[in-house]
Amino acid sequence: MSERRRPDDVDVLRGLLGPEGPELSCEACFEALDRYVELELSGADADARVPGMRAHLEGCGACDEDRRSLRALIEAGLASAPPAPAD
Protein backbone atom coordinates (compact mmCIF):
# COMPACT_ATOMS: atom_id res chain seq x y z
CA MET A 1 0.00 0.00 0.00
CA SER A 2 1.76 3.10 -1.15
CA GLU A 3 -1.25 5.33 -0.85
CA ARG A 4 -1.64 7.10 2.46
CA ARG A 5 -5.18 7.64 3.47
CA ARG A 6 -6.39 9.12 6.65
CA PRO A 7 -9.54 7.41 7.76
CA ASP A 8 -12.02 10.02 8.83
CA ASP A 9 -15.71 10.37 9.38
CA VAL A 10 -16.43 11.07 5.74
CA ASP A 11 -14.78 7.87 4.62
CA VAL A 12 -16.67 5.92 7.21
CA LEU A 13 -19.93 7.41 6.05
CA ARG A 14 -19.12 6.74 2.43
CA GLY A 15 -18.45 3.16 3.29
CA LEU A 16 -21.86 2.88 4.88
CA LEU A 17 -23.84 4.80 2.32
CA GLY A 18 -22.14 3.72 -0.86
CA PRO A 19 -20.01 5.61 -3.32
CA GLU A 20 -22.33 8.35 -4.42
CA GLY A 21 -25.66 10.02 -4.12
CA PRO A 22 -28.80 8.95 -2.37
CA GLU A 23 -29.27 5.24 -2.33
CA LEU A 24 -32.55 3.56 -3.06
CA SER A 25 -34.35 1.61 -0.41
CA CYS A 26 -34.97 -2.07 -1.08
CA GLU A 27 -38.60 -1.24 -1.75
CA ALA A 28 -37.76 1.40 -4.33
CA CYS A 29 -35.17 -0.89 -5.79
CA PHE A 30 -37.70 -3.67 -6.18
CA GLU A 31 -40.19 -1.36 -7.85
CA ALA A 32 -37.63 -0.16 -10.37
CA LEU A 33 -36.01 -3.52 -10.96
CA ASP A 34 -38.05 -4.55 -14.00
CA ARG A 35 -37.29 -1.30 -15.73
CA TYR A 36 -33.66 -1.36 -14.76
CA VAL A 37 -33.12 -4.86 -16.08
CA GLU A 38 -34.98 -4.08 -19.30
CA LEU A 39 -32.80 -1.04 -19.82
CA GLU A 40 -29.69 -3.07 -19.13
CA LEU A 41 -30.69 -5.73 -21.60
CA SER A 42 -31.63 -3.20 -24.26
CA GLY A 43 -28.20 -1.65 -23.98
CA ALA A 44 -29.52 1.60 -22.57
CA ASP A 45 -27.72 3.46 -19.83
CA ALA A 46 -29.67 1.90 -17.01
CA ASP A 47 -27.56 3.55 -14.33
CA ALA A 48 -28.40 6.99 -15.66
CA ARG A 49 -32.09 6.24 -16.09
CA VAL A 50 -32.50 4.77 -12.63
CA PRO A 51 -30.24 6.82 -10.37
CA GLY A 52 -29.16 5.16 -7.17
CA MET A 53 -29.94 1.69 -8.39
CA ARG A 54 -26.41 0.62 -9.09
CA ALA A 55 -25.19 1.82 -5.71
CA HIS A 56 -27.95 -0.12 -4.04
CA LEU A 57 -27.28 -3.30 -5.96
CA GLU A 58 -23.60 -3.11 -5.14
CA GLY A 59 -24.39 -2.85 -1.46
CA CYS A 60 -27.40 -5.13 -1.23
CA GLY A 61 -26.85 -8.76 -2.03
CA ALA A 62 -30.54 -9.63 -1.85
CA CYS A 63 -31.58 -7.10 -4.47
CA ASP A 64 -28.62 -7.94 -6.65
CA GLU A 65 -29.69 -11.56 -6.53
CA ASP A 66 -33.21 -10.54 -7.58
CA ARG A 67 -31.75 -8.61 -10.44
CA ARG A 68 -29.69 -11.51 -11.62
CA SER A 69 -32.63 -13.89 -11.42
CA LEU A 70 -34.91 -11.53 -13.30
CA ARG A 71 -32.29 -10.89 -15.90
CA ALA A 72 -31.69 -14.58 -16.42
CA LEU A 73 -35.42 -15.19 -16.80
CA ILE A 74 -35.84 -12.46 -19.36
CA GLU A 75 -32.78 -13.54 -21.27
CA ALA A 76 -34.08 -17.08 -21.38
CA GLY A 77 -37.40 -15.83 -22.70
CA LEU A 78 -39.26 -17.29 -19.77
CA ALA A 79 -40.52 -14.01 -18.52
CA SER A 80 -41.14 -10.62 -19.94
CA ALA A 81 -41.24 -7.46 -17.96
CA PRO A 82 -44.46 -5.87 -19.08
CA PRO A 83 -45.24 -2.27 -18.36
CA ALA A 84 -47.02 -1.73 -15.09
CA PRO A 85 -50.73 -2.46 -15.48
CA ALA A 86 -52.86 0.61 -15.52
CA ASP A 87 -55.54 0.44 -12.90
Q: Is 63 in the site for Zn ion (CB under 5 A)?
A: yes
Q: How many residues bind Zn ion (CB under 5 A)?
A: 4
- Contact with Zn ion (CB under 5 A): which of 26, 48, 72, 79? 26
What is d(CA 81, CA 73) in angstroms, rounded to the nearest whole number? 10
From the number of C-beta atoms within 10 Å of its C-beta (0-12, 13-18, 19+), residue 50 rates as buried
Interaction between residue 50 and Zn ion (CB under 5 A): no
17 binds Zn ion (CB under 5 A): no
Q: With respect to Zn ion, which residue has the nearer C-beta, 2 or 63?
A: 63
Q: Report the sign of the C-alpha dihedral through residues 72, 73, 78, 81, in that order.
A: negative
